[in-house]
């Protein structure tokens, strides 16, 4: 009997010995049910964004410390597989990111050593697009409303044009077959447009985004307002679910629901981009609360009229250098166009999902042509409809280069003035015109 009991105890001990490593492994798996698989740091003029890519929905806590300034984040039941050493080496707000010992076993504690004290926003994001679960941290400069916009040196009568390069940072926008990111194309065209506008007497440019970082959609219009812009152009390069669609288009905002499949697709994509880049309404910035009513009022009559007028002019110029997907201004409820006090347009410069256009959109010469067409279209609108007190209003005329087939009667009809007015402004003795000749066109009425 005793021998049987001893034998059973030995068998029990042997089973426990054999099963212990397996049980230990299961226990460790439970403790490390999640993992940090990537960390991205996006510095911007007004803030730094830190994005943690996690395997599953993050379970986290955080707190701040001072003297020195630190932000501590505890990821429960999580292991970290990311090298931290050089993550923040180019960031102006974070000295370094390191680990520390957490109170609870299985918890990964990360410490952000900060240069200063910052306004803090922390929120999780569910999987969207090419991204899985994320935890997002925004460190905002406390005096950001005073420093974020680099306003141009404004001469008397300058028309200020806001240039919004679509997407950026965490939000790449559309991605072409060969891996072209929309955010890079839009910034390249925007910088070329900025240069052209700043070279034009009577016009100055304000860039809403100057580098590879994300700007919340509603924040873009408030940045434009802080830059005192008279007109806002948002630049995009679109994609569709199939490679067939091609060509450029120009959009304005209206209260009407999207009527075309393309419009519904674009609006849906904008909502997804907000999830990729920033969580949209998750971020509630009290300093922007005074904008709520202005952003809700989508179209004042005057603002919408200017938007449509400029859109038609830009389409006229784009037709000369690229195919058009739509030959008239399209309407859609885009967040970046909603500010009722700022006339604005959204230019889709082409389809990255179309193989030929993807190649063109990465070609510097084509980018320059697109920027030139947008610049000329906006300039011509304000030459025809100058703002009171602007330089364009003071010069009293616009320039026109004569093309093949044009005559004084054709130009008089186009600009709604008389032949004698054109002849008088240019000291013409007869009705003969030369191709390439530059004429001064007096303003109508």
Q: Where in the chain do CATH 3.10.350.10 domains reside?
A: 396-442
* Res 444 pLDDT > 80: no
Among 72-76, 87-91, 263-267, 333-337, name the one with the lowest average pLDDT.
263-267
The CATH 3.40.630.40 domain(s) of the chain lie at 149-384
pLDDT band at 157 (very low <50, low <70, confident <90, very high): confident
pLDDT, position 82: 94
- CA 412 to the chain's CA centroid: 41
pLDDT surpasses 50 at 287: no
Q: Which CATH superfamily is domain 396-442 in?
A: LysM domain (3.10.350.10)
Q: Provide mean pLDDT across the span 243-250.
A: 89
Dump the DSSP string for 190-234: HHHHHHHHHHSTTEEEEES--SS----HHHHHHHHHHTT-SEEEE
- Return residue ranges of the chain for CATH 2.60.40.3500: 34-145
> pLDDT tens digit string along 185-220?
999 999 999 999 999 989 999 999 999 999 888 788
- For the stretch 26-63, pLDDT in tens is 444 445 689 999 999 999 998 999 999 999 999 999 99
Q: What is the pLDDT of residues 389-411, one digit of tens each?
A: 888 888 778 788 899 989 999 99
For the structural domain made of 34-145, what CATH number should be given?
2.60.40.3500
Region 339-345 average pLDDT: 79
- The string over 303-339, giving b where at least 16 C-beta atoms fall within 10 Å of a residue's C-beta and e elsewhere, is bbebbbbbbbbbbebbeeebeebbeebbbbbbbbbbb
Q: Which CATH number fits domain 149-384: 3.10.129.10, 3.40.630.40, 3.40.50.1360, 3.40.640.10?
A: 3.40.630.40
Q: Which of the four pLDDT bands, split at 50, 70 and 90, describes residue 257?
A: very low
Choose between 354 and 24: higher pLDDT.
354
């Amino acid at each position: 009997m005793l021998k049987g009991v001893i034998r059973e105890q030995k068998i029990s001990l042997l089973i426990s010995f054999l099963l212990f490593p397996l049980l230990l492994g299961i226990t460790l798996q439970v403790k490390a049910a999640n993992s940090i698989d990537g960390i991205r740091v996006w510095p911007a003029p007004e803030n730094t964004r830190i994005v943690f890519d996690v395997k599953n929905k993050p379970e986290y806590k955080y707190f701040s410390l001072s003297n020195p300034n630190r932000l501590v984040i505890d990821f429960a039941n999580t292991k970290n597989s990311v090298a931290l050493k050089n993550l923040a080496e180019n960031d102006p707000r974070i000295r370094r990111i390191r680990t520390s010992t957490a109170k609870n076993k299985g918890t990964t504690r990360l410490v952000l050593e900060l240069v200063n004290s910052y306004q803090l926003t922390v929120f999780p994001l569910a999987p969207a697009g090419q991204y899985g679960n994320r935890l997002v941290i925004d460190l905002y400069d406390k005096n950001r409303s005073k420093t974020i916009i680099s306003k141009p040196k404004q001469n008397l009568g300058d028309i200020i044009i806001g240039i919004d390069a679509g997407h950026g940072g965490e939000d790449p926008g559309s991605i072409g077959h060969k891996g072209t990111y929309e955010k890079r194309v839009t910034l390249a065209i925007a910088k070329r447009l900025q240069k052209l506008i700043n070279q034009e007497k009577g016009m100055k440019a304000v860039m809403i985004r100057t580098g590879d970082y994300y700007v919340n959609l509603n924040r873009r219009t408030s940045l434009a307002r802080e830059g005192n812009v008279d007109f806002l152009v948002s630049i995009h390069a679109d994609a569709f679910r199939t490679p067939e669609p091609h060509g450029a288009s120009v959009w304005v905002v209206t209260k009407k629901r999207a009527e075309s499949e393309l419009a519904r697709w674009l609006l849906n994509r904008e909502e997804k981009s907000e999830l990729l880049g920033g969580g949209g309404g998750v971020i509630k910035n009290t300093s922007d609360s005074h904008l709520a009513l202005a952003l809700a009022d989508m179209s004042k009559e005057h603002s919408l009229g200017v938007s449509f007028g400029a859109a038609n002019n830009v389409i006229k110029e784009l037709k000369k250098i690229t195919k058009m997907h739509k030959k008239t201004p399209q309407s859609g409820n885009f967040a970046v166009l909603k500010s009722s006090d700022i006339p604005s347009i959204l230019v889709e410069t082409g389809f990255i999902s179309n193989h030929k256009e993807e190649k063109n959109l990465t070609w510097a010469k084509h980018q320059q042509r697109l920027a030139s067409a947008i610049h000329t279209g906006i300039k011509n609108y304000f030459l025809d409809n100058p703002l009171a007190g602007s330089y364009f209003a003071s010069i009293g005329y616009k320039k026109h280069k004569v093309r093949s087939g044009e005559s004084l009667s054709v130009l008089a009809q186009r600009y709604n003035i008389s032949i004698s007015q054109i002849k008088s402004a240019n000291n013409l003795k007869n009705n003969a015109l030369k191709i390439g000749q530059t004429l001064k066109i007096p303003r109508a009425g």
